[in-house]
Amino acid sequence: MTSSIQLVGFDGDDTLWHSEGYYQQAYADFEAIVGEYVDLRELALRQRLLTVERANLALFGYGAKGMALSMVEAAIRVTEERISAHDLHRIVELGKQILRHPVELLEGVRAAVEAVAADYPVVLVTKGDLFHQEQKVALSGLADLFARIEIVSEKDPATYAGVLARSGVAAESFVMVGNSLRSDIAPVLELGGRAIHIPYHLLWLHEADAQFEPAPSRMAELATAADIPEVLRAWSRPSAVHDALAGRG
């Protein structure tokens, strides 16, 4: 028997609105600028870029500002201080462009969130920079549909446990919807909740590293948000086994 659904969570970036494409474009532009100084086909150089970025992630956290600072520093290191102030300014601008990108909803998202919100309280659980995420939530036009908006710095089981505690909901009664197995699916399954995975066509390398016990009965994979209400309906229905037991009783 499955527990009733009392709360549905949605991820923001690449689940409700497009995001990763802007980061990947900025990174490609960054590589083009640095590529004017050094040959980035050299594996050792690429490795050095990644080393700077990884070390900074622990200090900066996620988001466009940390990425921009990291790109500036990586460019200086990899070019051995040969890069011009003009080109470093172009790199700062790449970060600003990410912060200014338009918020475009994925197809079918508005209707899907409206349909889910008509049946359950919905919470937005989005990771990254507080200031930027708040702006994106506001620009999305979806804010009013959410009972709570939780902007978090990391999406691990402890984070979701906090979200659930603040909402007064048990993990068994929670369903999370998102594009990242690592951030949206694995930690919720680990807590005993259910999850709907909707892959996005782009994925940040950092998010690709997900390890978890598969839990087929508590997980669904969809191609589009339009099918979310149908999955929730199926999960709310008493199971066949439950039906049989109920019939007997």
Instruction: Please report, as ranges, the residues that interact with a second copy according to CB under 8 A.
Output: 59-62, 65-66, 68-69, 72-73, 75-77, 79, 81-86, 88-89, 92, 95-96, 99-100, 129-132, 134, 151-153, 166
What are the tokens at 154?
Answer: 């990391």
Query: Judging by beta carbons within 10 Å of its beta carbon (0-12, 13-18, 19+), is residue 112 exposed, middle or buried?
Result: buried
Q: Least Å distance between CB 73 and a second copy?
A: 5
Which residue lies nearer to a second copy by CB, 87 or 104? 87
Which residue lies nearer to a second copy by CB, 9 or 66? 66
If DSSP codes are grouped into helix, strand and coil, which group holds residue 92? helix
Which residue lies nearer to a second copy by CB, 134 or 227? 134
Q: Tell me the HSE value of 173 on the side-chain side, using a 13 A CA sphere.
A: 14
Q: Least Å distance between CB 56 and a second copy?
A: 8
Q: Least Å distance between CB 59 and a second copy?
A: 5
Which residue lies nearer to a second copy by CB, 86 or 201? 86
Q: Least Å distance between CB 80 and a second copy?
A: 9
Query: Judging by beta carbons within 10 Å of its beta carbon (0-12, 13-18, 19+), is residue 25 exposed, middle or buried?
Result: middle
Q: What is the C-alpha to C-alpha distance for residues 204 and 190, in angstroms, rounded to an integer?
A: 22
